[in-house]
Structure 1
Amino acid sequence: MPLDQAHVEEEEFDGEKEMTFLEHLEELRWHLIRSIAAIFIFMIVAWFIKEWVYGSIIMGPSKVDFWTYRKMCEIGRLLHIDSLCLQELKFDVQNREISGQFMLAITSSAIIGLLIAFPYVIWEIWSFIKPGLRASEKRAARGAVLIISLLFFSGVLFGYYIVTPFAVHFMVNFQLDPSIVNQYDIKNYLSILTTLTLACGLMFQLPVVIMVLTKIGIVTPSFLKEYRRHAFVVILIVAAVITPSPDMISQILVAIPLYFLFEVSILVSNRIYKDNLKQLEDEHI
């Protein structure tokens, strides 16, 4: 290898000091400690406002005055469709364990802490990975923390305000016989709420993943278009896995935005791919 080329490749690492395996482990340990500390701090904050968290946020989709249901009713009035106005949710939420509510308070506080601390946790992960990347790889991932955080919170909001209310509405109002009364355990309700919202938050990361893979040359737009049908099948399988119950409405509500994100990822991949080609052409001029 020519000396000039070797010198350029060395500079691509921005002069980062090479670390031993044990030093990497120590660095990772501190990143994890800081991430856990941030989650714990927000967990404590959520604990002190747990009554508001449960009354307004967690139990929100179980109440007929929830934002989504009110907007549905407004749309129904404009379209003169009275069935869109929700009159009641036919179910009761119960706690069946002595320590159930106390443990649920801890669990929900931990979940809230993780959600709020998510951008900081991602930043800590990025800070650990960044020194080992080449300059071109760092440029490809520029602004990744902000984009990932925005997409994650967009997915969480979509799951909370769209997917969860429709899933809850369908499941609790589906009735085989009027004599059957719906009485659900609070753990089951919290599991559905958490799974759907967090799953949507993670699903919304698909464009970022495709963008990075295209930037480093692993994925191309033609590849994504060629396997579009296969991707649709995989999306249906993923939707069936991440939904906590076997009802079709939950799976469809999860599959639709995921497929939409896949189509958006194709557009993102096409844009990045053209930029890569243009960059190669400029280097050869």
Structure 2
Amino acid sequence: MKDIDEGMSLVEHLGELRKRIIWVLVVLIIGMVIGIIVAQPIIAYLKTVPPAKDITWNVFSPWDGIRMYMSFALVTGLIITLPVALYQIWSFLKPGLREEEQKASLKFVPFAFLLFLIGLAFAYFVVFKMAFLFTSGISEKLALQETYGISQYFSFMFNILIPISLLFELPIVIMFLTQLRILNPNRLHKIRRYAYLILVIVAAMITPPDMLSAVIVSVPMIILYECSVLLSGMVYRKQLLKDQAWEEEFGAK
């Protein structure tokens, strides 16, 4: 690493950060433009598959149609921007990492994007459908006529999809923080009971108010946490071995 990198001033760091943020914003804008283009065919497709297949959608405001385009533009933009944002974060932190840490942490970027997509699929095909069927069942029991506004329907969907997709990033975040020596498996073991409690609360907040739904969502979340602990342990053990090798080579001198 060059001396100029090691001696970067606060102004230079802020300039570097500004450059990274600008790149992310540019990609986000491009992604939103793509989202506006693909919004109509995506909405048309979603209208033909369960649970929306037999629903007659309505608009309750002149802005609802535009709001749908902007909602899909934002979500599409966020999905496209995610790997770029992760890479920019890695690039910003890169000067403070060792060479082996740089290579190891860069591998997290594609896996983080893959986990986000898996979380998105789980949220839509499992949690959202389960939540929608639950609320529809309540309306049916009360003999209520279901009239759905398109804006309310997709707001309900996105409020479930986005948080769960982000929660699926937990293993990557913990591995990355372990790589930076901020976290380690010992700390994760100590906070396990609090982590479980938080995950159960989050699962209860984004699912219908019944025990079965909360369990269906909280179990994968807890499994993700335990996988995170295992992955953190793998990273941590490699760090200990490297530290021990360094001590044996240079410590005795």
Encode CA deviations 1:150-200: one digit per residue, 9 max, x unaligned: 222221222122222222222222346352122233232212221222212
Give the distance between the partners of 2:120 and 2:127, measured in 1 at CA: 10
CA 44–60 in structure 1, closer or farther in 2 if over 3 Å, else same = farther
Encode CA deviations 1:131-164: one digit per residue, 9 max, x unaligned: 3445465355231222222222221222122222
* Equivalent pair of 1:221/1:270 in contact (CA under 8 Å): yes
Matched, 1:40 2:34: no
Matched, 1:276 2:246: no
Counterpart selection for 1:179 from 143, 147, 166: 143
Find the structure with the greater CA-based Rg: 1
Q: What code does the residue aligned with 2:232 have?
A: S
1:272 deviation in Å?
A: 2.1
In the other structure, the counterpart of 1:28 is: 17
Instruction: Give 1:248-267 correspondences, 5 Å limit.
Output: 248=211, 250-267=213-230
Give the distance between the partners of 1:127 and 1:202, measured in 2 at CA: 21
Q: 5+ residue gaps in structure 2?
A: 249-253
1:261 deviation in Å?
A: 0.1
* Equivalent pair of 1:153/1:201 in contact (CA under 8 Å): yes
Q: Secondary structure at the match of 1:16?
A: helix
Give the distance between the partners of 2:7 and 2:48, measured in 1 at CA: 51
* Equivalent pair of 1:61/1:168 in contact (CA under 8 Å): no
Counterpart selection for 1:62 from 38, 51, 55: 51
Give the distance between the partners of 1:115 and 1:200, measured in 2 at CA: 14
Q: Secondary structure at the match of 1:51?
A: helix
* Equivalent pair of 2:90/2:106 in contact (CA under 8 Å): no
In the other structure, the counterpart of 2:251 is: none
Instruction: Give 1:10-25 correspondences, 5 Å limit.
Output: 11=1, 16=5, 18-25=7-14
Q: What code does the residue aligned with 1:32 have?
A: I
* Equivalent pair of 1:206/1:265 in contact (CA under 8 Å): yes
1:231 deviation in Å?
A: 2.4
In the other structure, the counterpart of 1:225 is: 189
1:212 deviation in Å?
A: 2.9
Q: 5+ residue gaps in structure 1?
A: 1-10, 65-88
Q: What code does the residue aligned with 2:175 have?
A: M
* Equivalent pair of 2:119/2:166 in contact (CA under 8 Å): yes
Counterpart selection for 2:110 from 124, 141, 146: 146
Give the distance between the partners of 1:27 and 1:239, measured in 2 at CA: 38
The runs of at least 4 aligned residues of structure 1 exceeding 4 Å deviation read 57-61, 134-137, 244-250
CA 125–258 in structure 1, closer or farther in 2 if over 3 Å, else same = same
In the other structure, the counterpart of 1:189 is: 153
Q: Secondary structure at the match of 1:141?
A: helix
Give the distance between the partners of 2:89 and 2:178, measured in 1 at CA: 21
Q: TM-score, normalised by structure 1?
A: 0.74
